[in-house]
Structure 1
Amino acid sequence: MATPSSPFSFLDDLFNRIGERLQPPAWAVHEIQHRAVLFLNHVLQQEPEAQQRLLRQQGRVVRFQWRFVTMEMVATPAGLLDLAPAGSVPELTLTVTDESPFELARATLRGGKPSVQIIGDVQLAAEVNWLVDHVRWDVEDDLARLVGDVPAHTIANGARRVVDALRQFVGGRKPPQAGGPSTGSASTAE
């Protein structure tokens, strides 16, 4: 009898079967992709350097793939993103090779990136990698617009603590000491 490779193998298998059978209608996929582009543009507008880099890639199409999900985006003259027109030929295809959504979440919580197969223009791939490494959503700033600075800061600190705890749990690391690493010799009690 075969032994499952992880405790989540049953859930991975279930996810595969559901994903293969239940495909959303085309209009729903387009709407979800459109919302994702709007969110990405919101984040990009907070980073002028990112917009300048995208401006240099104007008109170039990148395809992102993971399992049965595919999305093609094009850099616009404003230094933002848009959905690529139907029939566009991508200059770069990025395929996430990690099949398991649980492994992706685990890698993300550890602060890593998923394994990606890169096919196409190397310079464009380097620009996309720079964006992934340097552009971050300032959740606290957006939250402050809704609830004010002090509550947003409190909520963000709580969320950071939860994420840190999850990272420590998933990564099996010990929490950092309040005083930092010790430089002296430690004595042991018997």
Structure 2
Amino acid sequence: MATQSPFSMFEGFLKALPTPPAPPAWMVEESHRRVVLLLNHVLQQEPQAMERLARQKGKVVVSQWQQFTFKVQATPAGLLDLAAPDARPDLTLAILEESLFAIAQALMQGEKPKVRIEGDVQLAAEINWLADHVRWDVEEDLSRILGDAPAHLLMQTGRTLAQALQQFVGKRTASADTASGTAA
């Protein structure tokens, strides 16, 4: 008997909902600015990442998933800025997976989602290096707000929960793969 992931039922429910209206342009732009601020905060914690990105100054990267598009440009300081709406991309990264849950599941298993890459190969290699090597030190940021001990406890609890969720997702995926393999 095939065991389905509980996420598949939830995903089916979400697909049945009507498509929400598109957010206003100002809201999209402001959310993009917040994401750029977060990415720059993370990049500033890793000088080698900033050096690599500075070598790509002026180049534009477009990330796409379904109808969502995010366009950034490398600055001479090795950080990111929003690119002009009419800027021609040097690199386009299109996430091929349609399901948000499948993307989250892949990330929980330590994998990257499948991506179609078009454009500058060197820039793509640098972005791949950033994805592989740059990590946000959330505990350090939390310790500035909460103190060292509470931040450590909160992160330890979060890691335990994430590990349990990762094991749950892995078991569900393995049992679903086994069930589909024996049914064929």
Smaller-chain TM-score range? 0.7 to 0.9
Contact kept in structure 2, 1:97 and 1:115, CA below 8 Å:
yes
Structure 2, gaps ≥5 residues long: 173-184
Contact 2:11 2:101 in 1 (8 A): no
Larger CA Rg, structure 1 vs 2: 1
Aligned Cα root-mean-square deviation (Å): 1.8
CA contact 1:12–1:102 (8 Å) conserved in 2: no
- 1:65 corresponds to which residue? 64
Q: Does the 8 A contact of 1:55 with 1:78 survive in 2?
A: yes
Report which of the two has the higher share of helix.
2
Segments of 5+ residues of structure 1 without an aligned counterpart are: 174-190
Tell me the equivalent position of 1:89.
Answer: 88
CA distance in 1, matches of 2:71, 2:51: 20
Aligned-pair distance for 1:172? 1.2
The 1:151/1:79 distance shift into structure 2, 3 A limit, reads same
Whole-angstrom CA distance in 1 between matches of 2:26 and 2:67: 16
Q: Residue deviations 1:106-149, cap 9 Å, x none?
A: 11111111110001111111100000011100000000000100
Q: Structure 1 stretches (4+) deviating beyond 6 angstroms? A: none
Q: Which amino acid letter does the alignment assign opposite residue 63 of structure 1?
A: V
Structure-1-length-normalised TM-score: 0.83
DSSP-derived class of the 1:70 partner: strand
2:166 is matched with which residue? 167
The one-letter code of the counterpart of 1:11 is: F
Cα distance in structure 1, aligned partners of 2:58 and 2:124? 15
Which one has more relative contact order, counting CA pairs under 8 Å at least 6 apart?
A: 2
Q: 1:11 aligns with which of 1, 5, 13?
A: 13
> Would you say how many aligned residue pairs link Structure 1 and Structure 2?
167
Q: Deviations over 1:61-93 (max 9, x none)?
A: 000000111011000011000000121000100
Alignment of 1:152 onto 2:154: no
Match of 2:99 in 1: 100
Separation in structure 2 between the aligned mates of residue 77 and residue 51 of structure 1, nearest angstrom = 9
- Distance, in Å, in 1 between the alignment partners of 2:105 and 2:10 is 11
Amino acid at match of 2:115: V
Q: Percent identity?
A: 54
* Structure 1 position 8, deviation (Å): 4.4
